């Protein structure tokens, strides 16, 4: 892909956006008087605002780029990350868990754990969370800076520091409120910036039905587009049905996942573990102005979340369909290679002779360091021998013959294909907005947990509020600097990202078992929760060391101790790992709790455990605002969506 | 907090919408995609969205929201 050229109009839109987000920070600065204003928004924000911020903070982490990539790789089944992997958990959070988070007056999720259990559980959770948020934000910033570097030709360092600098400016000025308000603006920016790209893509491909038709012919021979290895075929509906290929078994869908791993691993363990316990999102709801607003926050968020697949996954499907249509002159972008590498490959084509296509293919593949389609190289060499082609024509031929896909490039390749100057600036601004909202989300969650759960709890208890307010500000700067450090770390080692995500998986997978038992069973003890969590983390590490996904070598990807089980895909391995870790943590916590004596009386646990908390009586709110009613309606809509794309 | 977020959202999209609309009109056929003057169309969409947000902010100022 050639670098995208921006014009003055594109820069104007970008600058206008940056000016507005910084301006919001400035406007809010005068309301920041206490540490609570800065770190928890003093619980004062309306529901629709916290709801959209809830979804926007989550949207950051590579979602636009990653979901389009998955849409291309797996088709409409990627929507399970929304309909199975998000909506039910968001509704559960709203109806059952928010009353404890909000009602306990805890300022953070780790603080709730301290109230419910003890300091050990809080320390374990807050340290793990602080480290993870930094790395999550670093990974995402690294990806952004790389993308801007490859596609706009911006300098990696400048892109990284400027984007982080903008986030720092508005978060430092307006704290969590500023992050939440800008997240709402970013939400609209993302939706309105990408909607025209989806519209134009669908129009170009010939509409929804033509796209599905094309995807059906792709599914029976996915290797033609390098989506799968040669010889693998699926039923025609593998890319266009969400459930049938999954129910048919792991060999029958491109994800390589079976229904149990999908529903229990993703839909229950991973999804509830993320949405119900991750302070990054829960913090948005905790900033709401009253209990009902807090409970409705995830429900407001669930509405756009349910329809996001059409914005973020469909582009990937469009890209596959376009690639299968020769007259569209489009392919899923190949891995990005430098001009120098292309130069060597062009020389290889020029020096090759049509009589020995095998040698030509080898020479080009060696020059590129990538697999190539032999027939395409052979015909390119023949065409060049028949009548000399220009370097640009040869380069285009080589580009089309690279037999590997760079899925993360899908969304920007569509932006580039369809957006004239003007709209281009809007779409790129939307992309930047999504990364900034993610980073601001991480940083504001990090500074709250660090200030209240680590600094105030263990290093400097009992200081004035002014002291913690300033600490919060300093920690914001430190958090951003650490994120930048993490971004450089991720950029230096190819394996860094794999390892980090692996550790996230180990730590996160068992977490929901602890919360579930803690909130709904008063007998759960601090020792049980603490050892259960440790056991769950150790259990996931053990599971990982004994299993591997098909096609991976033992090592970072698992299986380094012994090969007990091979999974058809990494996704299946992850889902099963989560399920295993949950069961280990759940059983251990249960058994150890029964074996140890309670340290907290029923009175201590009032407001923290379901059976000891008076039911919320919400007679004074209209029935259509009651979380349980709204939750059921949303669940029904979600089930209908599943059936439409069955 | 004393800031109604609809103000900045409304102002920003009104501004960007107006910019795209004018740009689409001025460039005409030069800035189309698939034969559609998408800058003009989408500029108008953003403009309408921005103005609606501003109207919401204005009416919110007159009657401070109770809930």
> What kind of fold does domain A8-323+413-492+615-644 have according to CATH?
Sodium/glucose cotransporter (1.20.1730)
A104-113, A224-233, A449-458: segment of lowest average pLDDT: A224-233
pLDDT tens for each residue of A21-48: 999 988 888 888 888 888 887 777 888 8
CA nearest to A44 within chain B: B1
Q: Which two tokens stand for residue A388?
A: 């000399």
CA distances from B15 to A186, A187, A581 (A): 16, 17, 51
* HSE-CB for A22 with a 13 A CA cutoff: 13
pLDDT at A292: 87
Domain count, chain B: 1
- Angle, CA of A379, A380 and A382, to the nearest 5°: 60
Pairing of strands A565-567, A547-549: parallel
pLDDT tens for each residue of A290-302: 888 899 999 999 9
Verify whether the Cβ–Cβ distance A418 to B16 is below 8 Å: no
Question: Is B67 among the domain residues?
Answer: no
Domain ranges across chain A: 8-323+413-492+615-644, 334-404, 494-614
Task: Tell whether the model's pLDDT for residue B42 goes beyond 90.
Answer: yes
Q: Which domain holds residue B37?
A: 6-58
* HSE-CB for B63 with a 13 A CA cutoff: 6
Cβ proximity of A354 and A382 under 8 Å? yes
CA nearest A473: which of A180, A173, A47? A173
Cβ proximity of A224 and A375 under 8 Å? no
Neighbours of A3 (CB within 10 A): 12
pLDDT at A531: 94
Quickly tell me which residue has 């704290």 as its tokens.
Answer: A175
A582 versus A58: which is more confidently predicted?
A: A582
Q: A335: distance to nearest CA of chain B, Å?
A: 26
Sign of the CA dihedral A179, A182, A186, A187?
positive
Question: Is B63 among the domain residues?
Answer: no
Q: Which two tokens stand for residue A564?
A: 């007990």
Question: Is B42 among the domain residues?
Answer: yes
Task: Tell whether the model's pLDDT for residue B66 goes beyond 50.
Answer: no
pLDDT tens for each residue of A496-542: 667 777 777 788 888 899 999 999 998 999 999 999 999 998 998 89
**Alpha carbon distance A115, A287 (integer Å):** 19
What does the CA dihedral A344, A350, A355, A357 come to, rounded to 10 degrees? 30
Task: Tell whether the model's pLDDT for residue A456 goes beyond 60.
Answer: yes
CA-only gyration radius of chain A, Å: 26
CA nearest A215: which of A232, A229, A235, A243? A235
For residue B1, which residues of chain A lie inside 8 Å, CB to CB? Answer: 28, 31, 41, 44-45, 177
Q: B16: distance to nearest CA of chain A, Å?
A: 6
pLDDT tens for each residue of A149-190: 877 788 899 989 988 999 999 999 888 888 888 999 999 999
Can you tell me the mean pLDDT for A376-399?
A: 85
pLDDT tens for each residue of A238-268: 899 889 888 888 888 888 888 888 888 888 8
pLDDT at B1: 52
Task: List, as one string, the DSSP characters of A207-261.
Answer: SHHHHHHHHHHHHT-GGGGTSS-TT----GGGTT-SSHHHHT-GGGSTT---HHI
Query: Average per-residue pLDDT in chain A?
Result: 88
Q: Which of A41, A203, A420 sits opposite B31 (nearest CB)?
A: A420
A498 versus B36: which is more confidently predicted?
A: B36
B52 in contact with chain A, both atoms CB, cutoff 8 A:
no
Cβ proximity of A99 and A291 under 8 Å? yes
Cβ proximity of A450 and A130 under 8 Å? yes
Task: Tell whether the model's pLDDT for residue A276 goes beyond 50.
Answer: yes
Verify whether the Cβ–Cβ distance B9 to A185 is below 8 Å: yes
Cβ proximity of A56 and A430 under 8 Å? no
Can you tell me the mean pLDDT for A584-595?
A: 94
């Amino acid at each position: 892909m050639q670098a995208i050229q921006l014009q003055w109009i594109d820069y104007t839109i970008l600058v206008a956006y940056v000016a507005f987000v910084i301006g919001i920070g400035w406007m809010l600065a005068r309301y920041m008087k206490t540490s609570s204003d800065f770190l928890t928004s003093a619980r004062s924000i309306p529901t629709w605002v916290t709801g959209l911020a809830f979804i926007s903070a989550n949207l950051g982490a590579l979602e636009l780029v990653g979901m389009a990539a998955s849409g291309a790789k797996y088709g409409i089944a990627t929507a399970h990350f929304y309909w199975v992997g998000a909506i039910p958990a968001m509704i559960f959070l709203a109806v059952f868990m928010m009353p404890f988070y909000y009602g306990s007056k805890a300022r953070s999720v780790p603080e709730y754990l301290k109230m419910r259990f003890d300091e050990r559980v809080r320390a374990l959770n807050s340290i793990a969370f602080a480290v993870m948020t930094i790395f999550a934000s670093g990974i995402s910033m690294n990806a952004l800076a790389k993308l801007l570097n490859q596609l706009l030709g911006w300098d990696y360092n400048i892109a990284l520091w400027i984007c982080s600098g903008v986030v720092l400016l508005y978060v430092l000025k307006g704290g969590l409120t500023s992050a939440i308000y800008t997240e709402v603006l970013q939400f609209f920016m993302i939706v309105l910036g990408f909607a025209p790209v989806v519209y134009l893509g669908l129009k170009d491909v010939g509409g929804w039905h033509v796209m599905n038709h094309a995807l059906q012919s792709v599914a029976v021979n996915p290797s033609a587009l390098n989506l799968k290895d040669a010889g693998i075929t699926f039923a025609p509906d593998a890319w266009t049905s969400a459930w049938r290929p999954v129910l048919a078994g792991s060999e029958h869908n491109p994800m390589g996942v079976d229904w149990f791993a999908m529903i229990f691993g993703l839909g229950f363990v991973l999804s509830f573990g993320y949405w119900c316990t991750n302070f990054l999102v829960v913090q948005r709801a905790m900033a709401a102005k009253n209990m009902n607003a807090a409970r409705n926050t995830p429900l407001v968020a669930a509405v756009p979340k349910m329809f996001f697949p059409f914005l973020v996954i469909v582009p990937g499907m469009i890209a596959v369909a376009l690639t299968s249509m020769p007259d569209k002159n489009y392919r899923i972008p190949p891995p990005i290679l430098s001009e120098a590498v292309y130069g060597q490959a062009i020389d290889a084509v020029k020096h090759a002779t049509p009589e020995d296509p095998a040698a030509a293919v080898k020479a080009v593949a060696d020059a590129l360091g990538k697999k190539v389609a032999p027939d395409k190289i052979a015909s390119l060499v023949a065409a060049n021998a028949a009548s000399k082609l220009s370097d640009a024509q040869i380069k285009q031929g080589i580009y089309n013959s690279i037999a590997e896909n760079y899925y993360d490039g899908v969304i920007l390749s569509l932006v580039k294909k369809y957006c004239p100057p003007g709209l281009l600036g809007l779409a790129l601004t939307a992309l930047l907005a999504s990364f900034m909202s993610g980073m601001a989300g991480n940083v504001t969650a990090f500074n709250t947990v660090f200030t209240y759960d680590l600094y105030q709890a263990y290093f400097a208890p009992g200081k004035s509020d002014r002291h913690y307010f300033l600490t919060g500000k300093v920690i914001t700067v430190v958090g951003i600097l650490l994120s930048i450090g993490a971004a450089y770390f991720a950029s230096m080692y190819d394996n860094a990202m794999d390892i980090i995500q692996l550790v996230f998986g180990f730590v996160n997978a068992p977490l929901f078992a602890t919360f579930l038992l803690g909130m709904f069973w008063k007998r759960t003890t601090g020792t049980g929760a603490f050892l259960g969590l440790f056991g769950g983390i150790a259990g996931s590490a053990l599971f990982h060391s004994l299993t591997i996904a098909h096609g991976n070598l033992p090592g970072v990807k698992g299986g380094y101790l012994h090969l007990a089980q091979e999974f058809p895909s990494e996704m299946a391995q992850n889902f099963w790992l989560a399920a295993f870790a949950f069961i280990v943590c759940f059983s251990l916590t249960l058994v150890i709790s029964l074996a140890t004596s309670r340290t907290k009386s029923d009175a201590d646990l009032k407001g923290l455990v379901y059976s000891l908390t008076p039911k919320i009586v919400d007679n004074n709110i209209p029935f259509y605002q009651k979380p349980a009613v709204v939750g059921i309606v949303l669940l029904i809509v979600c089930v209908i969506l599943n059936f439409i794309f069955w | 907090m004393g800031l109604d977020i609809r103000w900045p959202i409304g102002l920003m999209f009104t501004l960007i919408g107006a910019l795209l609309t004018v740009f689409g009109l001025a460039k005409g056929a030069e800035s189309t995609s698939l034969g559609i003057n998408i800058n003009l169309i989408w500029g108008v969409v953003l403009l309408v969205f921005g103005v609606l947000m501003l109207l919401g902010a204005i009416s919110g100022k007159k009657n401070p929201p109770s809930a």
